[in-house]
Amino acid sequence: MAPAVLLRAVVALTGRFPALAGVDLTVEAGQVVVLEGANGAGKTSLLRVCAGLLPVTSGQAEVLGLDAGRHVRSVRRSVGLLGHAPSLYDDLTVFENVRFSVRAAGSGEERVEEALALFGLDGRLRRTGAARLSAGQRRRVALATLVARAPQLWLLDEPHAALDAEARELLARVLTAAVAGGATALIASHEPASSLPLADRVVSLAGGRVVASGPAAAPRRSDAHVA
C-alpha cells in the first residue's frame, strides 16, 4: 500500500523564503509521527505541504498516494488540518461552524452531534457565537470539526497549545481510535513530551530539512549534532 506521506527533496517557498529546503520523509499508513524542531524550522510548512496548501517548488510530494500538486482537491478532502489559528466564522455559532465543515466535506450530519458531545460543546456552548469563545474553546471546536470529518491523514500543528489537560486527554483518545481505524497522524510540536506516548516515530527538523529521525523511545538526535 502506498505510504501516507512521501516527500523527496521537497523545496517549498513562502514568498522568497525557502521554508522547506530539501525534505525527505516517508510515513507509512497507520503511523503517528511527531515533528519536532525549533520555531522556524519548517514544521508548519511541512504540514501545509501535506495538506496541499503550500505548493512545492521542486521535489516530489505524494499524500495518500496522490500527487499533492496535480490532485490537490482530492488530497484536501482526505486530509484534516488543525492549524495554529482555528478557522472559524465569528458570526456563526459553534454548531453552525461545525455543521458547515461537515456538510462541505459531504459527511453525514449525525457526526456533528457526536463530535460536539465528545468535546463538551453541546449544551450552552452549542449556540454561542464563535467570537465569544475563549482560545481553548475555539481549539475544541476546531478539533470537533476535525473529528467529525474523520480524515485519513491528521495534520496537527501544535495541538496542545491552548488545550487544557482534559482536552488533551480527549485528543489522545480520539487520535488513538482514528489510528486504530487506519488513519495516519503527523503532529508538529515543540513540546514533544506531550505527544510522545502516542508517537511511533519522532522526526527532527532544522533549517527546513530533516536532521534526525528515529523511533520514539530511542535518542532523537543523530551523532553529528551534539548539543
Partner 1 sequence: MWRDAALVAGKDLRIEARSRVVLHQVAPFAVLVLVLFAFALGPGRGPMVHAAPGLFWVAVLFATVIAVQRSYGVESTEATRDGLRMSGLDPAGIFLGKAAALAAVLVVLEVLLGVGVVLFYGASVHSFGELAVASVAGTVGLAAVGTLYGALSSGLRARETLLPLLLMPVAAPVLLAGTRAWQAALGTSGAGAGDPWLRLLVVFAAVYLALGVVIFGPLQEAA
Partner 2 sequence: MSAVAVARRHRLTSVVGAVGLITLGLTVWLGLWVTPPDKVQGDLVRLVYLHPPIAWVALYLAFGIAALASVLWLWPRTRSAMWDRLAVSSMEVGVVFTALTLVTGSIWGRPTWGVWWAWDARLTSTALLLVLQLGYVALRRIPSDTEARARRSAVAGVIAAVDVPIVHFSVNWWRTLHQGATVLNANLSPTIHGAMAWTLLLGFVSVTLVFVWMLAVRYRIETLGDMVEGADLDTALAERWAEGAVPEPAPTAS
Q: Per DSSP, what are the bridge partners of residue 62?
A: 6, 67
Q: Which does 87 bind (CB under 5 to 8 A by kind): partner 2, partner 1, none?
A: partner 1
In degrees to the nearest 10, what's the CA dihedral of 6, 9, 13, 19?
90
Q: Which does 106 bind (CB under 5 to 8 A by kind): partner 1, partner 2, none?
A: partner 1
Q: Does 209 bind partner 2 (CB under 8 A)?
A: yes
* Three-state DSSP state, 205: strand
Q: Which does 101 bind (CB under 5 to 8 A by kind): partner 2, partner 1, none?
A: partner 1
d(CA 152, CA 217): 25
Tell me the HSE value of 95 on the side-chain side, using a 13 A CA sphere: 11
Query: Within the chain, how many helices (H) and strands (E) appear?
Result: 6, 10
Q: Does 135 bind partner 1 (CB under 8 A)?
A: no
CA distances from 19 to 9, 155, 171 (A): 13, 17, 28
**Lookup: cell for 175:** 487520535
Q: Per DSSP, what are the bridge partners of residue 198?
A: none
Binding part of the chain for partner 1, among 8-16, 85-93, 183-191, 205-213 by CB under 8 A, reads 85-93
Question: How many other C-beta atoms lie within 10 A of the C-beta of residue 74?
Answer: 16
Q: Does 86 bind partner 1 (CB under 8 A)?
A: yes
Element housing 196 (H / E): none
| Interface with partner 2 in residues 13-52 (CB under 8 A) | 13-18, 21-22, 36-38, 40-41
- At position 218, the amino acid (one-letter code) is A
Q: Does 2 bind partner 2 (CB under 8 A)?
A: no
Judged by CB under 8 A, which of 104, 136, 193, 215 binds partner 2?
Answer: 193
Judged by CB under 8 A, which of 24, 28, 67, 96 binds partner 1?
Answer: 96
CB of 91 to partner 1, least distance (A): 4
23 closest CA partner among 43, 40, 2, 52: 43
Q: Which does 129 bind (CB under 5 to 8 A by kind): partner 1, partner 2, none?
A: partner 1
| Interface with partner 2 in residues 61-80 (CB under 8 A) | none
Contact positions toward partner 1, by CB under 8 A? 51, 53, 55, 72-73, 76-77, 79-81, 83-92, 96, 100-101, 103-106, 129
Contact positions toward partner 2, by CB under 8 A? 11, 13-18, 21-22, 36-38, 40-41, 55, 190-194, 206-209, 211, 225-227
